Amino acid sequence: MIKQYALLLLAIASQTTIAAAQESAPAYEVIHETDTVWHFGAESIFLYSRPMHRIDIAYPSKDPEGNDATLSGCIAIPTDVLNGEQPCDGVVLMNHYTQMSFDGAPTRGNAQGEDYVFANPLSPNYIQVSSDFYGFGITEGKGQWYCFGDANAQASIDCLLAARKLLDDRKISQGRFLINAGYSSGGYDAIATQKLRDKKYRDVISFDKTFVGGLPFDMETALDDYLAIKDQPGRFFGLLMVLDSYNRHAHLGLKTEEMLKEPWASKFDEWMNSGQYRTSDILDELRHLKLTDIVKDTMLNKNSEAHKKLRQALKDHELKNDWVPDTTQNYLVMHLYSDMTVPVASDRALLTFLSGYRYENGTSPLFRKSIIPEQTHLQTNFIINSKDHTLLGGACYYLGLSAMLTALPILYYDGELNTHYADLVKDATPMGIVKTLEAKGYDLKSAVKGMGGGGGDIWSAMAKITEITKTLDRYLEPHDLVYTDLLTMADDSGLTLQDILEIYTYLSSDDSTDAGSRQEKTSATQQPQVVPGTPSFFYQQLENWLHENNYDIESIQLPF
Amino acid sequence: MMGTTIAAMADSEAQTVSIMTLNVDGLPHKLLFFNVNTDGPGSAGSEVVSEYIASKNCDIVAIQEDFNYRWEIWSRLFAGYNHDEWSGGIMMEDEPIDYAHLHNHRFKADGLNMVWKKDCQSTAYERVPWQQSFGKFSHEFDDIITKGFRRHELTLANGSEIVVYNMHMDASSERDESVGNDTKDREARLSQWQQLCQHILARLDNRPIIVAGDMNSYYNRDDILTAFFEPLTASGKATVGDAWMVLHNGGQYPALGGDKLKSEVLDKVLYVNPTVGNALIPVSAELDADGYLLDGKPLGDHTPLIVTFQFSRTDKTGISTVQQMRDAEIYSLSGIHQQQPLRGVNIVDGKKVARP
């Protein structure tokens, strides 16, 4: 009797194990398999090419509402890797960027920037896995869930698991590294995928790096940024897709004609759901229009019911909701500083969210921003000042991804971060870099003095430079920047205001007097008028910036 | 083996063989854009190294890290020495390098080379890579090249036959050692000692063996006795000794985990004497730090270790691997070489021959 009971328990345990295994390794069906060539170039001028073998699969997953569904995705393997001529270094889970046309689905053979990643001269030896997401591929026509919470995350995770099984079945090496990647809305879905992984798949999946760029992490912030420039011609196409997606899936109940002006309202449904238009088609049509030319005031007015509904839906589906980040994971986040398609502030919210996350009772940020690769778990690069989300931003992202994929096997070849590199970056604080440069013979203190910054505090010195030479303004003006933008870029990318203050204090330390500071302080307070180019104007900008960035003004030695 | 025993065994009139092991630090100062070995001897210094080697007049020189300056290293040795195969340098040949996937590239070079006096003869040669190594872009870059060992069968001028192993084992950096990050380096070295031991056991005959090289090992850090000494001794076919330990530490070996013997270096000359056949007895072992200088500075990052052995037995009977008949070499039954054999049965290469 006891034996039978034990056998029963064993059987139940076995079934549970099998069920769990099946859950973590779903089946797949190969629906198409072909050899193709990916190219690196522009405007049909191919500089480099790489033969690829593409396997399109159907795999069991869930639709965005949690119902069982079969979705499609593709696995692309460099032919030289498949043939064993090159060893495989890893797998890239690529989340595709904004698509409207059904032809844009990965299984339609449309490389989503991956051609730039795989076919450039670095030719990283990785296998790419990409879900079509719901609404594309074998679910095309059922409507996509564009930047809607973590609606596409399960599709991405399941596609990865199915791909792993296929690769195992075919005895194709998956290498050592697993990368989660995506640009723009693909970056949004990559973060959603990371979130789902952190919540449900910690034991099954561990990303060596989640590399995202140009994403609208905080949709509400993105909305505010769009509103701030609603009277300027811009690239509002993403916002239209968000309107459609949230109206439909969050059941806002808004009619198209309530949201959009004509003739756009009449075209909207066909644009969004026919699958016949490419994003570039729509962009071309809207290129010279302002947001107010397209969207009705009822949507843009913060006090309107329609606007409030939308805003609440964005809030309800924020990615940061119900997410406890796994601090063992590694992020690389880049964004063009002046991105006009996806405003940078919505991505900055990701940095704020991660770097603000702490252990229970902890006080130090676990994700510390750093521009230096592999120095922390949160590398950031927000210093490229361009508006061009697609051409420049996309190129920077995909080539950056390629460089990262190439560097990882070297940096981690011996199963740990290369010790030489680790030693190099361990103390690579901004102040450490200054000291290193000095040790190499660079007289930075003299350089600072030469620029007129020999005494007092950095703000007085900068104000003086601004006032006397106008150099800073003259340089920044053509780029639509003011000097506080430089502070923001630096801060986003890991160079904090405290770092800057520390460096300046050190470099001006030979001049022990702070008379300059006091003098400027007096000067600043004595000037009642805020005239551009004057120290007062400078200080006001600075003070505003400090407030906006939640700095403790008392802790910073300010000259005013 | 204890020193006193050895002294008793050594016959002052017996023949000797001397060997130097030297890591010549032959990486260039710069590779691509990177400074890699700025304190190495470089091209000019390698010629001085060559001059130094020639001046010591050793019978055999086991060289490691003979990479990019082979002509300089050989420059003063051509006259008196033969050498074995040079396996290449680092980034200096026509060997194509896939720079985009540098992590997949491994240079064919092992950095090993051996020279022996021209009156010696090499009869067989084998190159074997290590089965396990660690560290490609850190941990002393062992995996960037194809490290391993080389085995030579040599017939000395006096007709004695010996086997010489030359090798370069897995290195670990002071940085990793100091922070306890050298576990995998030590594992790799231990595996290499075991591989070496098995290789020797599989080929052991009655010729004595010299094992020389840059072992990157210390007895207190690497379990050499368990991995190498004990299996050989336990086989009952051979005895093993470290010339330096025998002559400078009374045959005592530092305990694993204990203190390092102050005078011990990473380079070693060991000897394996088969229980049947000839045997080697170390009679001197010298670390020539004072002689290996240029303008008061060391010529490289290793010190030459020079060991002289005496043959304690020169019994040639039973040697199974001698391939050539040497009519001029006539031995008595007791194994004594007879210049003018006059009586009795003579044996040449293990066979009885009629008296001339």
- pLDDT of B17-49, one tens digit each? 999 999 999 999 988 777 888 899 999 999 999
ipTM of the complex: 0.78
Across the interface, do A419 and B138 touch by the CB < 8 Å criterion? yes
Across the interface, do B184 and A414 touch by the CB < 8 Å criterion? yes
Distance from CA of A52 to the nearest CA of B (A): 18
Contact B242, B50 (CB under 8 A): no
Greater model confidence, A531 or B320: A531
- B346 pLDDT above the threshold of 50: no
Greater model confidence, A548 or B140: B140
The partner residues of A197 in beta bridges, in order of sequence, read: none
When mean pLDDT is compared across A465-469, A535-539, B264-268, B297-301, the lowest value belongs to A465-469
Q: Could you give the percent of chain B with pLDDT greater than 90?
A: 75
Contact B106, B144 (CB under 8 A): yes
- B322 pLDDT above the threshold of 80: no
- State the alpha helices, DSSP H only, in B58-131: 70-74
Full pLDDT tens readout for chain A, 560 residues: 444 444 444 444 444 443 444 445 458 999 999 999 999 987 778 899 999 999 999 999 999 999 999 999 999 999 999 999 999 999 999 999 999 999 999 999 877 788 999 999 999 999 999 999 999 999 999 999 999 999 999 999 999 999 999 999 999 999 999 999 999 999 999 999 999 999 999 999 999 999 999 999 999 999 999 999 888 887 788 899 999 999 999 999 999 999 999 999 999 999 999 999 998 888 888 888 999 999 999 999 999 999 999 999 999 999 999 999 999 999 999 999 999 899 999 999 999 999 888 876 677 778 999 989 999 999 999 999 999 999 999 999 999 999 999 999 999 999 999 998 998 888 788 888 888 888 888 888 887 776 655 556 677 766 666 665 566 677 788 888 887 888 899 999 988 888 888 888 788 776 444 433 333 333 334 434 556 566 666 777 777 778 777 777 666 666 55
Distance from CA of B170 to the nearest CA of A (A): 14
Across the interface, do B104 and A121 touch by the CB < 8 Å criterion? no
Across the interface, do B101 and A420 touch by the CB < 8 Å criterion? no
- Rounded CA-CA distance A182/A446 in Å is 45
Distance from CA of B137 to the nearest CA of A (A): 7
Structure token pair of residue A33: 């398999």
pLDDT of residue A502: 83
Q: What is the DSSP string of B156-210?
A: -TTS-EEEEEEEEPPP--HHHHHTT--HHHHHHHHHHHHHHHHHHHHH--SS-EE
pLDDT of residue B247: 97
Across the interface, do B102 and A414 touch by the CB < 8 Å criterion? no
Structure token pair of residue B15: 């023949």
**What element of type H or E holds A141?**
none
A423 touches chain B (CB under 8 A): yes
B101, B104, B139: residue with CB nearest A414? B139
pTM to 2 decimals?
0.83
Domain boundaries in chain A? 28-218+325-411, 219-316, 429-555
Across the interface, do B100 and A423 touch by the CB < 8 Å criterion? no
Q: For A126, name the nearest residue in chain B, comparing CA atoms only.
A: B101
Distance from CA of A417 to the nearest CA of B (A): 9
Interface of B with A in 112-151 (CB under 8 A): 134-139
Query: Taking Cα atoms as reference points, which of B29, A24, A495, A478 lies closest to residue A486?
Result: A495
Per-residue confidence band for B121, with pLDDT thresholds at 50, 70 and 90: very high
Contact B42, B29 (CB under 8 A): yes
Q: How many residues does chain B have?
A: 356
In B10-141, at which residue ranges do the beta strands (DSSP E only) sit?
Answer: 16-23, 30-31, 34-35, 60-64, 81-83, 113-117, 121-129
Query: Taking Cα atoms as reference points, which of A221, A215, A224 lies closest to residue A190?
Result: A215
| Non-local CB neighbours of A42 within 8 Å, separated by 6+ positions | none
Interface of B with A in 238-277 (CB under 8 A): none
Residue extent(s) of CATH 3.60.10.10 domains in chain B: 3-324
Contact A337, A384 (CB under 8 A): yes
pLDDT of residue B144: 92
CATH, domain B3-324, list 3.60.10.10, 3.30.450.20, 3.40.50.720, 3.40.50.2300: 3.60.10.10
Dihedral sign from CA coordinates of A348, A354, A357, A362: negative
A85 touches chain B (CB under 8 A): no
In B34-106, at which residue ranges do the beta strands (DSSP E only) sit?
Answer: 34-35, 60-64, 81-83
Q: What is the mean pLDDT of chain B?
A: 86
Contact A37, A49 (CB under 8 A): yes
Query: Phi and psi dihedrals of A386, rounded to 5?
Result: -150, 155
Structure token pair of residue B339: 């210049």
Number of Cβ within 10 Å of residue A541's Cβ equals 18
B184 touches chain A (CB under 8 A): yes
B292 touches chain A (CB under 8 A): no
CA dist B112 to A383, B87, B115, B125, B128, Å?
A: 50, 8, 10, 13, 11
Across the interface, do A420 and B137 touch by the CB < 8 Å criterion? yes
- State the alpha helices, DSSP H only, in chain B: 3-9, 42-56, 70-74, 174-178, 183-203, 224, 230-234, 243-248
| Non-local CB neighbours of A105 within 8 Å, separated by 6+ positions | A72, A96, A99, A132, A136, A137, A140
B181 touches chain A (CB under 8 A): yes
So what CATH class is A28-218+325-411?
A: alpha beta
pLDDT of residue A480: 84
Query: Taking Cα atoms as reference points, which of A211, A206, A164, A219 lies closest to residue A190?
Result: A211
Cα-Cα-Cα-Cα dihedral of A249, A255, A257, A258, to 10°?
-100
Per-residue confidence band for B315, with pLDDT thresholds at 50, 70 and 90: low
Distance from CA of B186 to the nearest CA of A (A): 14
pLDDT of residue A16: 41
pLDDT of residue B14: 54
- Chain A CB contacts of B100 under 8 Å are 121-124, 406
